[in-house]
Chain A
């Protein structure tokens, strides 16, 4: 069993988090959040993989052949939908920030301090 997909999943997640932490532009930050979420999709799909498995579509493969797990694919799709919703909302907030504060740099938003 290859560990390559799992390593990739963790790396993508970490790259996304590093991007969020060091971001200087709100759009970049939101896209990095999407990248981090992509790491979770890769992990889900890697777990569903069966070696020598085909696409899990009934009728297109000969009976008795191995198929990859469709449940994780459904989970990944749901995850993607959630990610899209969140990105849309956060981008709307980012547009409002730009319109009202004139800056897209998260470090320059310093209204809330305490």
Chain B
């Protein structure tokens, strides 16, 4: 069970590398089939992880760099049923997207499959990671895959503009994440969420901790598409080809919310122990206001994909 944890990230990356190198020499259906098999493998392995982590979360330390004393030098993947099911969902939706792309694109070079597999690897890593900087790296990998796929149809004007807006805003969100994690590292000396949580617990949160948490949340909320951080959503969803839209709306936004939940519960819940109500109130208010705004905007849309975007934001 332990050995299975890195596979949902490693397998799509390896398949993407193989398809990138050899894709032009292989018949198109073989490329399609390989990509679909990879997505199915990710979904299957993640489903096994869901079952395997049901009673106790699995902590997988990359490279065997186990903790010595208080220092955890390695990067940890924490697999609990929620994270593993999000990874499985990403695998299933990628499978659906690739199956749809089988006939959707008349002529597609293997680049599309490479990008989808990189996107899948980024999403799975983002769901499973328990290390702040690892979250940042997978956030960027996911974003790069996503906006490259959004701008896939470069011969049409809409996707170009949507992809540019998507790329710039998500990269800014990544910078917010980097600022937040720099502050957390400066305060606790730990990038591992569990370590940071232990170091922050027990003391009332001062401005630095609150600002760091706020920056991290802002970065994740942009990814989740929650208003007021949703302005890139409509353009991006309208611009993306349909198979990619499936992935963006189905799982990427949910991953943003999941990341907030994980960062809060593992990293900051000790620090904010007495003030849970305040944090919850802020997040609920943001959620309700955002849902209402997005629902109203969605009602006013004339185009289906933009309506879907506002539905996702809601």
Interface residues in B171-222 (C-beta closer than 8 Å to A): 171-172, 174-175, 178-179, 182-183, 185-186, 191
- Bound Cα distance A85, B171 (Å): 11
Find the residue from B148, B171, B172, B185 having the highest chain A CB count within 10 A.
Answer: B171
- Bound Cα distance A111, B303 (Å): 13
Interface residues in B141-170 (C-beta closer than 8 Å to A): 143-144, 147-148, 151, 154-155, 157-158, 160-164, 167-168
- Bound Cα distance A114, B133 (Å): 37
- Bound Cα distance A81, B278 (Å): 38
Which of B160, B172, B182 is within 8 Å of A100, CB to CB?
A: B160
Q: Are A114 and B306 in contact (CB under 8 A)?
A: yes
- Chain A residues with CB under 8 Å of B301's CB are 114
- Bound Cα distance A32, B168 (Å): 10
- Bound Cα distance A97, B148 (Å): 14
- Chain A residues with CB under 8 Å of B147's CB are 89
- Bound Cα distance A8, B298 (Å): 41
Identify the stretch in B6-14, B17-25, B34-42, B233-241 within 8 Å (CB) of chain A at 4 or more residues: B233-241
Q: Are A93 and B182 in contact (CB under 8 A)?
A: no
Q: Are A100 and B155 in contact (CB under 8 A)?
A: yes
The answer, yes or no, to whether A68 is at the interface (CB within 8 Å) is no
Which B-chain residue is minimally distant from A44 (CB atoms)?
A: B182
Find the residue from B140, B238, B301, B303 having the highest chain A CB count within 10 A.
Answer: B140
Number of interface residues of B (CB under 8 A): 38
1/0 contact string of B116-159 vs chain A (CB within 8 Å) = 00000000000000000100010010011001100100110110
A interface, over-half SS: helix
Instruction: Give, as a whole number of angstroms, the nearest-CB distance from B230 to chain A.
Output: 14
**Contact A33 to B182, CB < 8 A, known contacts A39-B175, A112-B161:** no
Interface residues in A40-70 (C-beta closer than 8 Å to B): 40, 43-44, 47
**Contact A82 to B157, CB < 8 A, known contacts A89-B144, A89-B167, A93-B163:** no
B interface, over-half SS: helix
Q: Are B172 and A36 in contact (CB under 8 A)?
A: yes
- Chain A residues with CB under 8 Å of B67's CB are none
Instruction: Give, as a whole number of angstroms, the nearest-CB distance from A23 to chain B.
Output: 10
- Chain A residues with CB under 8 Å of B167's CB are 86, 89-90, 93
Which B-chain residue is minimally distant from A23 (CB atoms)?
A: B168
The answer, yes or no, to whether B1 is at the interface (CB within 8 Å) is no
Q: Are A112 and B172 in contact (CB under 8 A)?
A: no
The answer, yes or no, to whether A109 is at the interface (CB within 8 Å) is yes
The answer, yes or no, to whether B3 is at the interface (CB within 8 Å) is no
- Chain B residues with CB under 8 Å of A86's CB are 140, 143-144, 167, 171
Q: Are B137 and A78 in contact (CB under 8 A)?
A: yes
The answer, yes or no, to whether B26 is at the interface (CB within 8 Å) is no
- Chain A residues with CB under 8 Å of B282's CB are none
Which A-chain residue is minimally distant from B301 (CB atoms)?
A: A114
- Bound Cα distance A27, B249 (Å): 29
Instruction: Give, as a whole number of angstroms, the nearest-CB distance from A63 to chain B.
Output: 20
- Bound Cα distance A72, B302 (Å): 48
Q: Are A13 and B179 in contact (CB under 8 A)?
A: yes
Q: Are A97 and B160 in contact (CB under 8 A)?
A: yes
Which A-chain residue is minimally distant from B73 (CB atoms)?
A: A71
- Chain B residues with CB under 8 Å of A71's CB are 185, 191
**Contact A79 to B164, CB < 8 A, known contacts A47-B185, A86-B171:** no
Which A-chain residue is minimally distant from B161 (CB atoms)?
A: A109
User: Which residues of B does A touch, CB under 8 Å?
Assistant: 133, 137, 140, 143-144, 147-148, 151, 154-155, 157-158, 160-164, 167-168, 171-172, 174-175, 178-179, 182-183, 185-186, 191, 234-235, 238-239, 301-303, 306
User: Which residues of A does B touch, CB under 8 Å?
Assistant: 13, 17, 20, 26, 29-30, 33, 36-37, 39-40, 43-44, 47, 71-72, 75, 78-79, 82-83, 85-86, 89-90, 93-94, 96-97, 100-101, 106, 109, 111-112, 114
The 3 residue pairs across chains A and B that have the minimum distance between CB atoms: A47-B186, A40-B178, A109-B161
